[in-house]
Amino acid sequence: MREAESELRISASRLKETVLAFGDSWESAEGYRGLSETLGRELPMLYQAYDAYVSALLATGTERVSCSKSCSHCCSHYVTSVEPYELLFLHGHVSRHAEYPSRLVAMHRRTTLFRSLRKDADGDEAEDRALYRYYLRNQPCPFLAGDGSCGVYAARPMSCRMYHSVSHPSLCKGKSVIAPNNRNFLIELPEDIEADIARAGRIFSESGIPESLFEGLLKMNELFGAYDSGPASGD
Ligand code: SF4
Ligand code: SF4
């Protein structure tokens, strides 16, 4: 467990240094491609280190996790807290797919639905209420494949990887998600690692990239279009 945590710490620190070294250059076509390629090497290592940390942590407990690769009720959540460089990496990945345009439309629909549920209400409670009401609308993530697996499994963001349950999967569905016997939980990062990962996002702080998965990817599309076409601005 300590070894896995230490590996995760090293990966997070390396990712932070690598991303910060790009500074503002990521906004140009060349910088975007360079950062995209760098993230293609570094981020999978961080994800692997996180997955190994989760496995080591779960092995210290006595309860068995109910999650499996094709179990997907939780993929109807509105995914939030996604780091901008995770969005950039995922955008580079999905914008090469033939289904990219239809996924953009699906993400736009979900974003519009979530905004209408949140209305103009501010604060964590309003956000939580909107997230719950969104979940009840049963709008699966556009990346969810027909067999219940994640279509971007290797590139899925950390927020998706954190979600676990030790109760029966049926309790992850619909209103059961708030039942007292539902035992969903998030496996968060140790605080110092979380802080390192957040620091890596500083180079994006002026760009107004939303931290939700769908809104964030829509923003990436607005900035860069399809991966091979470079920035939409012609930069
Ligand atoms: S959190 Fe629930 S729905 Fe998601 S994989 Fe685990 S058991 Fe299945
Ligand atoms: S990205 Fe993958 S794991 Fe995350 S919500 Fe979508 S289908 Fe599920």
Range of the domain at 184: 2-228
Nearest-CA residue for ligand 1 atom 5 is 67
Nearest-CA residue for ligand 2 atom 4 is 160
For residue 149, which atom of ligand 2 is closest to its CA?
7
The answer to whether the CB of 225 falls within 8 A of the CB of 95 is yes
The whole-number pLDDT of residue 121 equals 74
The whole-number pLDDT of residue 22 equals 92
Residue 128 burial (C-beta neighbours within 10 Å; 0-12, 13-18, 19+): exposed
Residue stretches of the chain with pLDDT short of 70: 226-235
Alpha-carbon distance values, 103 to 49, 96, 120, 144 (Å): 29, 12, 26, 11
| Tokens of residue 39, six digits | 């993230």
Residue 72 resides in a domain: yes
**Number of the ligand closest to the Cα of 173:** 1
Nearest-CA residue for ligand 2 atom 8 is 75
Q: What is the count of structural domains for the chain?
A: 1
Residue 234 resides in a domain: no
- The CB density around residue 153, as the number of other CB atoms within 10 Å, is 12
Residue 219 resides in a domain: yes
How far away, in angstroms, is 121 Cα from ligand 1 center? 29
Q: Where are the alpha helices (DSSP H) in the chain?
A: 2-20, 29-59, 84-94, 100-118, 124-136, 158-162, 191-200, 213-224
User: Which residues does a 6 A CB cutoff place in the pocket of ligand 1?
Assistant: 66-67, 71, 73-74, 163-165, 169, 172, 184
The whole-number pLDDT of residue 227 equals 54
The whole-number pLDDT of residue 234 equals 34
Residue 233 resides in a domain: no
The answer to whether the CB of 232 falls within 8 A of the CB of 223 is yes
Residue 18 resides in a domain: yes
Residue 83 resides in a domain: yes
Residue 235 resides in a domain: no
**Number of the ligand closest to the Cα of 72:** 1
pTM: 0.91
How far away, in angstroms, is 74 Cα from ligand 1 center? 6
Cα 235 to Cα 224: distance, rounded to the nearest angstrom: 9
The whole-number pLDDT of residue 215 equals 96
The whole-number pLDDT of residue 145 equals 94
For residue 213, which atom of ligand 2 is closest to its CA?
1
For residue 164, which atom of ligand 1 is closest to its CA?
1
User: Which residues does a 6 A CB cutoff place in the pocket of ligand 2?
Assistant: 75, 79, 141, 143-144, 150, 152, 156, 160
**Number of the ligand closest to the Cα of 161:** 2
* Closest CA relative to residue 175, chosen from 226, 225, 138, 121: 138
How far away, in angstroms, is 141 Cα from ligand 2 center? 6
The whole-number pLDDT of residue 225 equals 81
Cα 149 to Cα 136: distance, rounded to the nearest angstrom: 20
The whole-number pLDDT of residue 230 equals 43
Residue type, 201: G
How far away, in angstroms, is 182 Cα from ligand 1 center? 11
Nearest-CA residue for ligand 2 atom 5 is 75
The whole-number pLDDT of residue 232 equals 40
Q: Where are the alpha helices (DSSP H) in 119-182?
A: 124-136, 158-162
Cα 136 to Cα 130: distance, rounded to the nearest angstrom: 10
